[in-house]
Every structure is written in C-alpha cells, then in structure tokens.
C-alpha cells in the first residue's frame, strides 16, 4: 500500500522554529520591531526526526525513519522605527532509512545536502502599547532546482506569498516577568495540478524571564491546508498523483514545544528548544531540537539602547523552533 510522506524539513524546522510549511525556521517575538538602524543576525541549527506517517484520519503508520538537519541564517534590520526587514536562507541535509523508498535519493541511506528556499519579509508596527500589533508580508522563493520527490526531498519548490499579523505584549504589572506573542499567516500559492494549496498557520509563544539572563519559553504551532489531496483515498501508486503527492497533501498539524534563551551579554543570545507533534493529518510526526544564537547590533554603538522604543529588554530576539 502506498504511504504518505511530507519531508520533515518542510513541516518543521523553525522556529519554535519555527511554523511556516516550507521553511525550516521562523523568528519569534516579531510583533516588536528594532529601532531604525538596529538589527540582528541569527544562526540556527536543527536536528529533526520523523518515523510515523499519518493518513487523512490521523492514524499513524511506521514507514521508516526520516532524518533532517538544517542551518538557517536570518538577518533583521530596522528600516524605520516602525518598519523592519527580515531575510533568511536555509541549508538542509536529509536521509531516509527504511523499506519504502520513493524518490531517487532514498536508496543509499546517505545524507543529501543542498540549499533550500529563501524568505524575504517586511513588517510594519501599527500599535505599541499595551498590545503591540505588527502586520507583515513575506515571500518564499526557491533558490534552485532541488529534488522534490521522495523522503529526501529538500522542499516543495513552491513560490509563496504570506500575509499575516503579529501581536504581543508584556503582562505586567500582574505578571511583570511574562510576555505573550502570537502570529497568524495566510499563504497564497499558485494552483498546482488544479489543486488549491493555500493554507493557514498560527504560532504562539509564552516567555517567562526567570532570571536576569534566562528566559523560559513555551511554544505552539498549528496548520491547516485549505485544499489538496487526502491520503490514501486520493492517491494511487503508479498514477500521476503519487509522483507529486508529497507536495499537494491536505496537511494539518498541531505541535508543542519548549525552550530557553540565555542572554550571554547585551549583544548575544543563545537559544535552545525542543518541539514535537501532538497530532497530524496527511503528514508526519516530526520532533527535534534547535540550537542557535542571535547577535544584535546598533547604529549608536551602544547596545544597551537597542530598540528601547519598541522591544523590552526582557524579550529575547532570535529564532524559535517551528
């Protein structure tokens, strides 16, 4: 019987890392924007694993182990005190170990490496107090013609337009050391094989500053694809649908995770996170770890004043897990 497979690097890799389908990581706390001329450079490593594949009813089946590692670099810059630019790119490596290979890279159990997609986004802060509200627009652009079939597919190779909104606030004076952040996005894709592949994503984060240099973070992510094919009823081995089914599934998931950010100094944050799949349909149950750092810079050469107008000092900047 054929089985469903979505490459793990497509489903989870960011951020808290990240949660957009098709990107391995996403920056967190993006309701807050840096001041004009300020910014950050973040580097994030993820190690992900998936063993169970799920059908349209969410039933799990063991179809071998998919493993993926990725390194994502993200650049953020404050164009004005309200408008910020982000750009990122990922380098991914994946391998498959199992008895059901699908694509040309699945048969040797070796790591296959390539650059994946690039993302460019701008966000504009429309409200700062007490609730910070920041809409955004983002585009996903494949960097080259990478492999798109089988367990070792680097991604789906789709151009995407994302429209969404970030919202966040600190909870003082009731909980002065806690902040919350949420993000919703709607991805618009060109129809492929006559299928609507637009999707909705939501992610959230609750952070607790337990000490001056330590922040604990609770992370969540949700996705719903608004069209696509169901497995296995819409897919038949030997027919055209099976050749591209990884790219067009009616995929949904719910994931939870947790992590910590250590502020080494005023410039440098180190991030740790773990996330796993609670439920999924037409997908895989991905889980893994993320380790990264974020270096902040300021045009004033005084890092203590970075984003003083918009980003509270107790909210870390950097990369998450979905």
Length reported for the chain: 322
**pLDDT at position 186, please?**
97
Residue 298 confidence (pLDDT) above 60 = yes
What SS3 class is residue 17?
helix
Residue 199 confidence (pLDDT) above 50 = yes
Residue 292 confidence (pLDDT) above 70 = yes
**pLDDT at position 84, please?**
96
Mean pLDDT for the stretch of residues 89-99: 89
**pLDDT at position 180, please?**
94
Percent of the chain at pLDDT above 70? 80
Half-sphere CA count of 164, side-chain side, radius 13 A: 25
Q: How far apart are the first and last CA of the chain?
A: 31
Using pLDDT thresholds of 50, 70 and 90, give the confidence band for residue 73.
Answer: very high
What does the angle CA 316 – CA 320 – CA 322 come to, to the nearest 5 degrees? 160
**pLDDT at position 102, please?**
75
pLDDT, tens only, 29-71: 689 999 999 999 999 999 999 888 898 999 998 878 889 999 9
Q: Which domains does the chain have, with CATH numbers?
A: 8-305 (2.40.160.40)
Give the integer Cα–Cα distance in Å for 304 and 288: 34
Using pLDDT thresholds of 50, 70 and 90, give the confidence band for residue 156.
Answer: confident
Using pLDDT thresholds of 50, 70 and 90, give the confidence band for residue 98.
Answer: confident
Give long-range contacts, CB 8 A cutoff, 24+ apart: 105-111: 105/147, 105/150, 105/151, 105/152, 105/153, 106/150, 106/151, 106/152, 111/69
Give the integer Cα–Cα distance in Å for 217 and 207: 4
Q: With residue 45 as reference, give the H or E element that holds it.
A: strand 39-54
> How far from 202 is each of 126, 127, 252, 318, CA to CA, in Å?
20, 20, 11, 18
DSSP string, 112-161: EEEEEEEEEEEEE--B-SSSEEEEEEEEEEE-S----SSTT-------EE
Q: Are 206 and 185 in contact (CB under 8 A)?
A: no
Give the integer Cα–Cα distance in Å for 82 and 77: 11
How many other CB atoms are found less than 10 A from the CB of residue 185? Answer: 23
Q: With residue 18 as reference, give the H or E element that holds it.
A: helix 15-18
Global pTM reads 0.83
Residue 319 confidence (pLDDT) above 60 = no
Residue 281 confidence (pLDDT) above 90 = yes
**pLDDT at position 240, please?**
56
pLDDT, tens only, 222-246: 999 999 988 888 776 555 555 566 7
């Amino acid at each position: 019987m054929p089985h469903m497979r979505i490459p793990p690097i497509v489903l989870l890799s960011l951020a808290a890392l990240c949660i957009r389908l098709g990107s391995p990581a996403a920056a967190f706390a993006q309701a807050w924007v840096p001041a004009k001329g300020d910014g950050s450079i973040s580097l994030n490593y993820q190690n992900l694993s998936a063993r169970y594949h799920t059908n349209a009813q969410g039933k799990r089946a063991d179809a071998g182990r998919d493993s993926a590692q990725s390194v994502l670099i993200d650049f953020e810059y404050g164009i004005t005190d309200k408008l910020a630019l982000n750009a990122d790119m990922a380098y991914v490596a994946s391998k498959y170990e199992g008895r059901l290979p699908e694509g040309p890279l699945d048969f040797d159990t070796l790591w296959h490496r390539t650059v994946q997609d690039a993302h460019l986004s701008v966000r504009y802060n429309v409200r700062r107090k007490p609730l910070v509200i920041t809409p955004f627009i983002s585009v996903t652009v494949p960097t080259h013609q990478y492999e798109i079939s089988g367990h070792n597919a680097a991604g789906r190779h789709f151009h995407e337009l994302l429209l969404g909104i970030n919202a966040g606030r600190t909870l003082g004076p009731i909980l002065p050391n806690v902040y919350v952040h949420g993000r919703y996005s709607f991805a618009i894709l060109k129809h492929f094989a006559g299928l609507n592949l637009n999707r909705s994503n939501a992610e959230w984060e609750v952070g607790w500053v337990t000490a001056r240099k330590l922040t604990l973070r609770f992370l969540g992510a949700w996705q719903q694809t608004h069209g696509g094919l169901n497995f296995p009823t819409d897919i038949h081995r030997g027919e055209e649908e099976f050749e591209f089914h990884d790219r067009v599934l009616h995929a949904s998931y719910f994931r939870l995770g947790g992590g910590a950010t250590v502020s080494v100094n005023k410039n440098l944050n180190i991030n740790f996170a773990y996330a796993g799949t609670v439920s999924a349909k037409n997908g895989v149950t991905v889980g893994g770890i993320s380790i990264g750092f974020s270096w902040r810079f300021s045009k004033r050469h005084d890092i203590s004043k970075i984003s003083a107008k918009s980003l509270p000092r107790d909210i870390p900047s950097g990369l998450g897990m979905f």
